[in-house]
Chains A and B, each alone.
Chain A
Amino acid sequence: MKNSKNSTPMVFRASNVFSKLGVIAFMLLLSISVMAQDIPSKPNPPRLVNDLAGILNQQQVSQLENYLVQFAKETSTQVVVVTTPDLGGTDKADFTFKLGDKWGVGQAGKNNGIVVMVKPKTRTSNGEAFIATGYGLEGVVPDAIAKQIVENDMIPRFKQNDYFGGIASGVQVIADITRGEYTADEYTAKHESSPFSGIIGIVVIFVLVSFISRGSKHDKNNMGGRGSSLPFWLMMSMMGGSSRSHGGSFGNFSSGSGGFGGFGGGSFGGGGAGGSW
């Protein structure tokens, strides 16, 4: 009795250890796969072209970025290009929607964002491409069109290892289709007001300079104040006003040539299509 009781647990224990090891290994695997499911986090500073897979060179990235930033300024539609070395354990559609939602591509009210995702082909895995359209663009870029863009404009070039060519022509077609859909009313409003405020600034500076020069003609040691016919506080406020309006127009100018302002918080509802090669 005692003997049998002693011998069976030995086997039992060994198998127990193995099963425990198995469980631990399984949990480790699970945790790795869970970790791998992470969607890349939002780029900081925000960029529209994110070459996480490293398939584009510096010049190509900045060329695409400039084009897309300009496009986003003109139309408020945000087209994001993401290349990724892996899909984080999910499929291409799911990966792209989640990324678009997480980054908030497109404007919040309009949901006019598009994510162009490319996973390059490797020796062990297929290449995958997907275009995800935000809620607000599902009408302009229907799934069938997105599919055609992927299959006709992108994949043939990807097959020849021309990643830049494929992405650029896909983006070009998307831009052409969506151009008319949304207009950047904020942008035009800013654009219209900026020359006007610039003129005001110039006029104010001109007036100020003429006052100062007149004042200094009167009394070289006196900066305004008694010498000028304007009270000191008024002059200060004018100076402040002039510098403010000037600063505003300068800000506009710099944002016109510079970087991308940030994602708007648009969301994705599953529109779009993709393909693999």
Chain B
Amino acid sequence: MKNLKKMIWALLMVPFLTSCGYNSMVELGENVDAKWSQVENVYQRRADLIPNLVNVVKGYAAHEKETLQGVVEARSKATGINVNADGLTEDKIAQFQQAQQGLSSALSRLMVVVEKYPDLKANENFRDLQAQLEGTENRIAVERRNFNEATRAYNTYIKKFPRAIYASWFDFEKKPYFKADEGSNQAPKVEF
């Protein structure tokens, strides 16, 4: 008898839960998770390009060992940090971002060094890799923006009035954003 009552209650709750936006909260939350995995994908794509790039550069600029070593190390550091979409917290995103940022700056150091080797710059393989790397950086920017947009949609939704009260009952917490990279809002300095 008690069970029956509970079931009836549950059934009565169904329209209430759908109308209060529970389903939308689930959908928006899932969307954030999906966008996060896209972000990880494009970063992984960049990491996958690096062994090839390092090999090609090695062939022409073997004595730039330090710079190459820096890239390899930064890569392994960056690929070592994986953040699950379920466990997204501000700290974890910051950690992830820092490691990836380390790889970015190692790569840009490498690209500066490469300028000294015209033969390498003329190498077709290298040019292709460079184009792919640029494309990957573009994709990273796009996917990060998409992730932040999805997160904003989710956060605004759960913070709006009726839902702000009961969102936390169902464990819908605010999700963290990607922050702009340090120094990315300043144009890079060019020194001659």
Contact = CB atoms under 8 A, between A and B. Distances in A.
Interface of A: 93-94, 97, 142-144, 146-148, 268-273
B127 A271 contact: no
Interface in B123-162: 127-129, 131-132, 134-135, 138-143
A144 B142 contact: no
A93 B127 contact: no
- Interface bracket on B: 10 to 19
B132 A269 contact: no
Q: Which 6 A-B pairs have the closest CB atoms?
A: A143-B135, A270-B139, A270-B142, A147-B131, A144-B128, A270-B138
Contacts of A273: 131, 134-135
Contacts of A271: 135, 138-139
Contacts of B135: 142-143, 146, 270-273
Nearest to A94: B141
Given A270-B138, A270-B143, 6 more contacts: A94-B138, A144-B128, A146-B135, A147-B128, A268-B142, A270-B141
B114 to A, nearest CB: 16
Contacts of B131: 143-144, 146-148, 273
Interface of B: 42, 127-129, 131-132, 134-135, 138-143
A93 B134 CA distance: 10
A147 B127 contact: yes
A272 B143 CA distance: 15
Nearest to A151: B127
A143 B141 contact: no
Contacts of B142: 97, 268-270
B32 to A, nearest CB: 17
B134 A143 contact: yes
A90 to B, nearest CB: 11
Contacts of A97: 138, 142
Contacts of B127: 144, 147
Nearest to B135: A143
7 contacts: A93-B138, A93-B141, A94-B141, A97-B142, A147-B134, A269-B142, A273-B134
Contacts of B141: 93-94, 270
Contacts of B42: 270
A105 B48 CA distance: 30
B10 to A, nearest CB: 38
Contacts of B139: 269-271
Nearest to A146: B131
Given A93-B138, A97-B138, A272-B138, A144 B143 contact: no
Contact of A269 (B128, B129, B134, B143): B143
Q: Chain A CB within 10 Å — which of B132, B135, B139 has the most?
A: B135
Contacts of A270: 42, 135, 138-143
Contacts of A142: 132, 135
B138 A144 contact: no
A143 B143 contact: no
Contacts of B143: 269-270
A203 B170 CA distance: 66
A146 B135 CA distance: 10
A97 B140 CA distance: 13
A183 B135 CA distance: 27
A94 B184 CA distance: 14
Contacts of A143: 131-132, 134-135
A39 to B, nearest CB: 14
A273 B127 CA distance: 12
A18 B27 CA distance: 51
B26 to A, nearest CB: 23
Contacts of B132: 142-144
Contacts of B129: 144
A17 B143 CA distance: 44
Q: Chain A CB within 10 Å — which of B131, B132, B139 has the most?
A: B131
A97 B142 CA distance: 8
A97 B42 CA distance: 16
A116 to B, nearest CB: 16
A148 B131 CA distance: 9
A244 B167 CA distance: 55
Nearest to B129: A144
